[in-house]
Every structure is written in C-alpha cells, then in structure tokens.
C-alpha cells in the first residue's frame, strides 16, 4: 500500500526543480497521498454501477467500505504534521484540515445519521461536507503547482 501511495502521490503532486524535500517530511508526504487516495476511493464507491448519476440501492457491504475508507483517511490525516503542511504552502494547513478533512468528516457523520429525507440531518451534513470539499478543490486548483513542486521536487 505504501508503494502505491508513493506512485499515486507522485502523480498527484507532479515534479519540479525545487530543492529536495526535507527528510523529516517524507512520511508526511506519503500519508498525505494516502489520505487523498482513501477519500477518492470512498467517493468512487458512491457512484452508481451504471454511471448514470441516478440514485441506486447500495449494498450494505459497499456502504461499510465507504465508511471504512473515510474513517481511515480521517484518522491518517491527523498524523500529518502541521509543519509539513506549512512547509508546502502557508494556507494548506487550514484548507486541508478545515475544508478537505472536515468535509469528509461531515460526509461520514451524515452517512451515520438519519438520511430518511432531503431535510434530514444526515443529508444536510453530507451537503455541507460536499460544499467544504468543493471549496478546498477550488483553492487546490489555484495552488497545486506551488505545492506539488515542493512536495515532489525532481532530483
């Protein structure tokens, strides 16, 4: 899994002519890539089997996989040192923790709450989480190159 995360991370981050990543951040970089992959894998499982975008009855095993991947990503995200996030970009820590991870926490809380109708607490939490993740993605798109160049400098 670690090898896969490094490969995914290198694709996620890219490369540049920056100075080498300080050794103390190598594990954080791997964890960061793993968190992203876990969240992406969880969201991939929410897609209908026919890719129609229409609601579908999800098997309980699939729901359990989604919850497990989200919980694992959230737990792993807490192990990433704030100094690593600050090293990559001065605003990454707040965006990563307060938007990206918090968004997935809300989605998980929503999945574990009442989702009986569109106004239920579970649905509202999931929508709030999706909005926070969207805000992070907008911020990320504007800052990706700066961050990836520092995270995965070319040797």
From residue 91, give the alpha-carbon distance in Å to each of 27, 49, 102, 147: 20, 37, 15, 10
- Distance, in Å, from the CA atom of 46 to the CA atom of 33, rounded to the nearest integer, reads 20
Sequence-ordered list of residues with C-beta below 8 angstroms from that of 139, at least 6 positions apart, any chain:
91, 95, 99
**What is the pLDDT, as a whole number, of residue 48?**
82
Phi, psi of 89 (to 5 degrees): -170, 135
Q: pLDDT tens digits for the chain (155 residues)?
A: 444 444 445 445 544 455 899 999 999 999 999 999 999 999 999 888 887 777 778 889 999 999 999 999 999 999 999 999 999 999 999 999 999 999 999 999 999 999 888 899 999 999 999 999 999 999 999 999 999 999 999 75
**What is the pLDDT, as a whole number, of residue 11?**
47
How far is C-alpha 79 from the chain's CA centre? 14
**What is the pLDDT, as a whole number, of residue 18?**
58
**What is the pLDDT, as a whole number, of residue 67?**
97
pTM for this structure?
0.84
Q: Which residue has the tokens 């920056």?
A: 18
**What is the pLDDT, as a whole number, of residue 57?**
80
- Distance, in Å, from the CA atom of 107 to the CA atom of 38, rounded to the nearest integer, reads 14
Angle at 45 between CA 39 and CA 49, to 5 degrees: 155
């Amino acid at each position: 899994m670690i090898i896969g995360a490094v490969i995914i991370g290198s694709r996620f981050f890219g490369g540049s002519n920056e100075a080498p990543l300080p050794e103390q951040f190598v594990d954080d970089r791997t964890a960061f890539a793993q968190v992203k992959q876990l969240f992406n894998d969880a969201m991939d499982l929410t897609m209908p089997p026919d890719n129609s975008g229409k609601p579908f009855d999800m098997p309980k095993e699939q729901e359990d996989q989604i919850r497990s991947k989200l919980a694992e990503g959230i737990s792993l995200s807490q192990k990433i040192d704030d100094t690593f996030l600050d090293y990559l970009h001065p605003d990454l820590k707040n965006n990563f923790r307060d938007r990206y991870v918090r968004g997935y926490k809300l989605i998980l809380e929503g999945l574990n709450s009442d989702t009986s109708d569109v106004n239920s607490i579970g649905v509202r939490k999931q929508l709030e989480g999706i909005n926070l993740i969207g805000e992070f993605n907008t911020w990320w798109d504007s800052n990706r190159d700066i961050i990836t160049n520092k995270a995965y400098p070319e040797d």
